[in-house]
Structure 1
Amino acid sequence: MTRLRRDPRAERTAIRVAAGTRPRYDRTAKPAGGRPRRDPRAERAGQRVPGASRPRFDLSPIILSQALHGDRPVVAETRPRPAPEAAPRIVVVEDPAFLVAVVPDATGGRLSGHDRQVLGAARTLAGREGGVVVVSAGPCEGCGPAGADRHVVLDDPGPDPAARAATIAAALADLEPRHVLFPESLDGGDLARRIAVRMGVALFDNAEVVAAAGLVRPARGRRVEQRAAPGRLATVAADAVPDHAGAPREARVLTVATAPAPASRLLSTERIPADPATVPLALAEFVTAAGNGLTDLDTFRQVVAALRATPGASRVLCDAGLMPRHTQVGASGTVLAATCYFALGISGAPQHLQGIAGCEHVVAVNTDLHASMIERAGLAIVQDAQAVMPALLRLLAQEAGEQEAGHPAGDPS
């Protein structure tokens, strides 16, 4: 079979536009034979998604096929916008078969990451038939999304640990839960042991596996695993149990009968914070770190001292000897579990992002809008860190001056 010989002159004459003195040609016209000529501009216009502030294009195979074949017109696809996602349905348990109580630390009136893990363990023990109740001394936010069906808010008995244990033990006696879980932390572990002594119940501490079939904890330098059926009281180790990942719960407020707190023999109590400059990075709550985009390390140290944060650094600064090796943050340095991480001039290498994966809040200052650290941050400042640090020091000094003016010397308030 022979193929017809192309005549380029005839094809060119066929698409010539008669109007005008200069020769003009219609490139969109379909030739009499052979393959149609591509029109990249029409193809690009057909792929554009309407309604977007920035140019967006749909590169799906259907649209490309329509653009490449001349037998179908190239038109912009008018697809309906996706409907906004409905709010997740709140799960309500009207009459739970039993209760699993959680006593969180709730520092500052909000759940910590460890508290949410304990609530995830409580949901595992409760299953479908049971309910989870949070017993907090004072207000506590975010209990419903964390998996709590009920919430008991007690009057804060103050800093006396004995009075706190007595108040919570009275509330637990009124609720009669099947299990009571505490975080294995400095405050939660101490409270759990005080309540265990007061109630005369054995405590299974530092559980790393929580299931309805039993609890597991390490022993003898982690060479032995101890297993036991879920008892009345237990503490859950940090980063051992995942958070509740299901639908949010109701967190209905309950009122329980509590006995008045016993008179304390303590004259005064005061929490002495540790020096943030000497706190290990793995235990720090607030870390301020410097990266390769920072040159004025003296001002950086002033910012760290003014914020009362623990200093950190990227691997580049540590390799250059500008910051101590123990301040390195990342997978090859220290993996953080801080509440807040303040990054100055750090672009965000993959190993560095792995080191801050457990941080709850991330604040980043960088000149690159598309830096990985900017994308990771909950609050991003696209600016040179060298200009941000002096401005931050001025604001902190101004705030300190206002506080001193509001509370002059000798004012007991």
Structure 2
Amino acid sequence: MTRPRRDPRAERASIQVAGEARPRFDRTARRTGSGRPRRDPRAERAGQRVAAEARPRYDLSQTVRFDAAVITEAQPKAAAAASPKILVLDDPAFLVAVVPDAPGGRLSSHDRQVLGAARALAGREGGVAILTLGACEGVGPAGADRWLPLDAVEGYDPATQAARVAAALTALAPRHILFPESLDGGDLARRVAVRMGEPLFTNAEVVAANGLVRPAKGRRVEQRIAPGLLSTVAPDAVAEYGGPPREARPLPVEAEAPTQGSKRIVSAARVPADPATVPLALAEFVASAGNGITDLDTFRQVVAALRATPGASRVLCDAGLMPRHTQVGASGTVLAATCYFALGISGAPQHLQGVAGCEHVVAVNTDLHAAMIERAGLAIVQDAQAVMPALLKLLVQEAQGTGDETA
């Protein structure tokens, strides 16, 4: 054997610290055998600690070096966020049009799913064109190559809206047109189908280039058809587009203005439901209290001021402080809300399962490392008991129009 035999006694004597009454050894010194330094976990941990923090925090992403006796304490530089590359499709072979609901000028989760279905139909050679009534945000990241904004219709006039959309689609001449199968999108799709004189395949749950599939006869059978001109996509059936952002180039299309007929609907208004009585499964905005909330009266005032639907964690429901029907989680109600406001909730696994379908999560908790803080898109690391009065004060000031933000 050419490998030298280790002498543990000689190695131990080489790292002994001289001039000490009690034998002490320098474990960070190089060994005479392999030359590999011995790890010092305490020094490594000290090198990862973030300076100027009252509570010990550690940067675990820092690179650990074993070739030095002490790890450097220099903080890592913030990596510059690379701007995502925008895909540009100059000359698509054909277009797949999408007419979203876009409530409030922003795409809903259902709208983004329809755009994902359009990308499946477009493939590599086709492009996706989105047609919106008025301005809309985030159409490029959602997967649109072209964007055709139309003037919004004043008031509630579905006949004029359908005529305007049908004229624009006729001028655009796409291969396929997709609508969301929703309350407004489904009604618009049927009106456009009547005006264009084309068949409509509704409630498609599978969208692919080789065919569309929907359930029928109480979901006992499936109906399959080749992709036609007009189709609606069922909610939560197709995945959203997850690729890089697209160009969303504005598309100038000169559509023939529809003739204005007599307006049959004189007046129409959408009456919102009382958020205090809306079931949690149907609520759009839910504010929940957890074990960190002791003043439930202030919590109810916050819920009323925000016009949210009240919810609670299992701890409060088991204690009888909140009704059982307000429990959020896998053992309570699974939410599909647009926004979820968690006050004093740490985030047990069952509770996180209940808010997995929420689009936006706002959390208030004193624990920086709580699971709910990590899940939240906006986190406030503070005591919820102190946040609630400040939030109520800001809401009152906003209602009065004072503009004072000293709270």
TM-score (norm 2): 0.84
Maintained 8 Å contact 2:30/2:38: no
Q: Which range is displaced more, 154-163 or 118-127?
A: 154-163
Deviation at 1:322, TM superposition (A): 2.5
Q: Is 1:163 the equivalent of 2:165?
A: no
Q: Which range is displaced more, 300-309 or 100-109?
A: 300-309
**2:342 alignment partner in structure 1:** 343
Q: Is 1:314 the equivalent of 2:313?
A: yes
Change (3 A) 1:6 1:115: closer
Question: What's the CA shift string for 1:41-92, capped at 9, x where partnerless?
Answer: 5x654787689756547899x955x5xxxxxx64648999796453222111
| Secondary structure at the counterpart of residue 146 of structure 1 | coil
Match of 1:152 among 148, 152, 166: 148
Distance 2:104 2:179 in 1: 17
**1:182 alignment partner in structure 2:** 179
| Secondary structure at the counterpart of residue 299 of structure 1 | helix
Maintained 8 Å contact 1:291/1:343: yes
**1:69 alignment partner in structure 2:** none
Maintained 8 Å contact 1:48/1:57: no
Question: What's the CA shift string for 1:240-267, capped at 9, x where partnerless?
Answer: 1111111211100012123335243433
Q: Which residue identity lines up with residue 375 of structure 1 in the other structure?
A: E
Deviation at 1:353, TM superposition (A): 0.8
Question: What's the CA shift string for 1:276-321, capped at 9, x where partnerless?
Answer: 1222222211111111222222222222121111111112222233
**1:114 alignment partner in structure 2:** 110
Deviation at 1:16, TM superposition (A): 2.6
Distance 2:15 2:190 in 1: 95
Question: What's the CA shift string for 1:164-219, capped at 9, x where partnerless?
Answer: 11111110010011111111111111111111111111111111111111111111
User: How is 1:39-58 mapped onto 2 (pairs within 5 angstroms)?
Assistant: 44-45=42-43, 56=59
Distance 2:390 2:246 in 1: 43
Change (3 A) 1:265 1:344: same
Q: Is 1:197 the equivalent of 2:199?
A: no
**2:3 alignment partner in structure 1:** none
Aligned length: 388
Q: Which residue identity lines up with residue 208 of structure 2 in the other structure?
A: A
Q: Which residue identity lines up with residue 120 of structure 1 in the other structure?
A: G
Distance 1:4 1:358 in 2: 62
Unaligned runs of 5+ in 1: 67-72, 404-413
Maintained 8 Å contact 1:289/1:343: yes
Deviation at 1:274, TM superposition (A): 1.6
Deviation at 1:384, TM superposition (A): 2.1
| Secondary structure at the counterpart of residue 186 of structure 2 | helix
| Secondary structure at the counterpart of residue 143 of structure 1 | coil
Distance 2:364 2:355 in 1: 15
Q: Percent identity?
A: 67
| Secondary structure at the counterpart of residue 118 of structure 2 | helix
Maintained 8 Å contact 2:193/2:200: yes
Question: What's the CA shift string for 1:370-402, capped at 9, x where partnerless?
Answer: 211111111112222222222222222222222
Deviation at 1:114, TM superposition (A): 0.8
Unaligned runs of 5+ in 2: 1-5, 52-56, 403-407
Aligned CA RMSD, in angstroms, stands at 3.6
Distance 1:52 1:183 in 2: 48
Q: Is 1:101 the equivalent of 2:97?
A: yes
Distance 2:295 2:35 in 1: 62
Distance 1:121 1:280 in 2: 30
| Secondary structure at the counterpart of residue 125 of structure 1 | helix
TM-score (norm 1): 0.83
Q: Is 1:364 the equivalent of 2:396?
A: no
User: How is 1:73-152 mapped onto 2 (pairs within 5 angstroms)?
Assistant: 74=69, 76=71, 84=80, 86-152=82-148
Maintained 8 Å contact 2:98/2:131: yes
- State which structure, 1 or 2, has the greater radius of gyration over its C-alpha atoms: 1
**2:217 alignment partner in structure 1:** 220
**2:230 alignment partner in structure 1:** 233
